[in-house]
Amino acid sequence: MTSLISEIPTVSSKQGLVESLERLVRAYYQQPSPRDATRRRVGVSSAILGPEEAIGVLRTVLSGWITQGQVTAQFEREFAEYIGVKHAIAVNSGSSANLVALAALIEADRLPVGDEVIVPATTFATVAAPLIQLGLVPVYVDVCADTYNLDPQAVEAAISPKTAAIMPVHTVGHPADLSAVLRIAQRHNLCVIEDCCESHGSSLDGRKVGSFGAINTFSFFVAHNMTTGEGGMIVTDDEPLAILCRSLREFGRVDQRDIAQERFYSDGVLNEYDKRYVFQRPGYNVRMTDVAAAMGIEQLRKLDVFNARRRDNAAFYRAALLRSCADVLEPAIERPGAFHTYYTYAMTIRPGAPFTRRQLVDHLESHGIETRPIFAGCLPDQPGFRQAPHRIVGALPVARWIRDWSLFLGVHPGVSDEDRQHVVQTIESFVKAQPG
């Protein structure tokens, strides 16, 4: 580091500064990263950042424009193209993406307030929270034991006269059974909103998730397959919905697209009023900054490479678990036609196993291997959701088994060959030491 600092030249222009900083950043990232050999830690997630992200952020900051602007617009275009949709609207989180997408559907009269939206019981809190916040009713259905995704049969059983939409989540990267969901939706005239917050680049029969539903959402939180630190994206082919989302994400402002040609707005009450301060609806401020978007552009370019490593790590775990622990642990699977991107590696302890999840978790964590449950486990069982408006369909036996017996491990690109070997050996030695 000292040697790098001594290389800082005297810069006399902005261009010179940018070039010098870029050179230093690249040199910094070429150095081997120090690793504490005494403390192995296989985390459940890790942001994989390189000089490209740092340079993108530096360039943005040095440009002087740091809030939502041209860089965000570029990220939106490139993300829409990657998913295969017409419109992408960047926001500050996946939770905000869900909130804004649902608010847009309500304003477009496609989700009547008070109506029901079917969601998987096993999921993250802010799949259902925006529904409750906006006066919709989450209806929790059971999930499939192999993919952790909503079970189409349970969806069918959950339909009521109040059902307005289905919100499949592609849990930890495995695409939900969208062909079944879309069939049910078509038959009952329901809207489909895909929550793709855990499934960047996942696909079904070659088509990317995020391109099936009417409006769909992504998260770029730091743990996810690509990151902007905090961030999210709404994607849709529906232009009126996209226009509504753009307005809702920034205060409810009137459409700003033609502001360069026509700056002023008139409607009989407001006369030649600056469009920047014309508010067409009560909105939010959940914009993405250009600083975050600069990182997103570089992460998107690397996403397929990241996902390839995740899949390789997952295949390694699956082969090992099937070889030596299949009687007690159910490893993650990939159904035919599905392209799983393994946000994490989920597994479930089988009934009759001679150990508890707590014992396995304690063993793994004591060997430097981080674990988590599958998010909320069974969301309606969470303290903040028990009393909130909802409906449950059936006894949710799978979701409740997952709540008590499932866990996930990291398979992110930072998990090295040595790390994954350590994980497998640690699980195998634990299972072997069990009685019976």
Ligand X SMILES: Cc1ncc(COP(=O)(O)O)c(C=O)c1O
What is the rounded distance in angstroms from the CA atom of residue 224 to the CA atom of residue 200?
Answer: 8
Looking at 60, 122, 123, 216, which residue binds ligand X (CB under 6 A)?
A: 123
**How many CB atoms sit inside 10 A of residue 267's CB?**
9
Q: Which is nearer to ligand X, 249 or 420 (CB)?
A: 249
Sequence-distant (≥ 6) Cβ neighbours of residue 335 within 8 angstroms: 146, 147, 174
Looking at 124, 265, 408, 430, which residue binds ligand X (CB under 6 A)?
A: 124
Binding segment for ligand X (CB under 6 A), chosen from 48-56, 109-117, 121-129, 380-388, is 121-129
Q: Write out the catalytic residue numbers.
A: 224
What is the rounded distance in angstroms from the CA atom of residue 156 to the CA atom of residue 184?
Answer: 7
The number of residues making up the chain comes to 436
Could you give the string, one character per residue 76-95, with x where binding to ligand X holds by CB under 6 A and - elsewhere?
-----------------xxx
Minimum separation from the CB atom of position 150 to ligand X (A) = 12
Q: Tell which positions 224-283 bind ligand X, by CB under 6 A.
A: 232
- Counting contacts by CB under 6 A, is residue 197 touching ligand X? yes
Q: Which is nearer to ligand X, 68 or 95 (CB)?
A: 95
What is the DSSP annotation of 95-126?
HHHHHHHHHHHHHTTSS-TT-EEEEESSS-HH
The answer to whether the beta carbons of residues 175 and 195 sit under 8 Å apart is no
Binding segment for ligand X (CB under 6 A), chosen from 72-80, 195-203, 260-268, 419-427, is 195-203
Q: Tell which positions 146-185 bind ligand X, by CB under 6 A.
A: 169
What is the rounded distance in angstroms from the CA atom of residue 18 to the CA atom of residue 12?
Answer: 11
Closest residue to ligand X, Cβ-based? 94
Which strands make up the sheet holding 406-409, listed edge to edge? 329-330, 345-349, 406-409
- Counting contacts by CB under 6 A, is residue 377 touching ligand X? no
Minimum separation from the CB atom of position 392 to ligand X (A) = 19
Q: Which is nearer to ligand X, 119 or 214 (CB)?
A: 119
- Counting contacts by CB under 6 A, is residue 219 touching ligand X? yes
Looking at 52, 116, 195, 419, which residue binds ligand X (CB under 6 A)?
A: 195
Beta partners for 34? none
Question: How many Cα neighbours within 13 Å face the side chain of 89?
Answer: 29
Count of residues interacting with ligand X (CB under 6 A): 15
Minimum separation from the CB atom of position 132 to ligand X (A) = 14
Please tell me what DSSP assigns to residue 64: T
Looking at 103, 111, 127, 226, which residue binds ligand X (CB under 6 A)?
A: 127
- Counting contacts by CB under 6 A, is residue 140 touching ligand X? no
Q: What angle do CA 390, 392, 394 make, to 5 degrees?
A: 175
What is the rounded distance in angstroms from the CA atom of residue 345 to the CA atom of residue 330?
Answer: 11
Looking at 221, 306, 316, 430, which residue binds ligand X (CB under 6 A)?
A: 221
Contact residues: ligand X, CB under 6 A: 93-95, 98, 123-124, 126-127, 169, 195, 197-198, 219, 221, 232
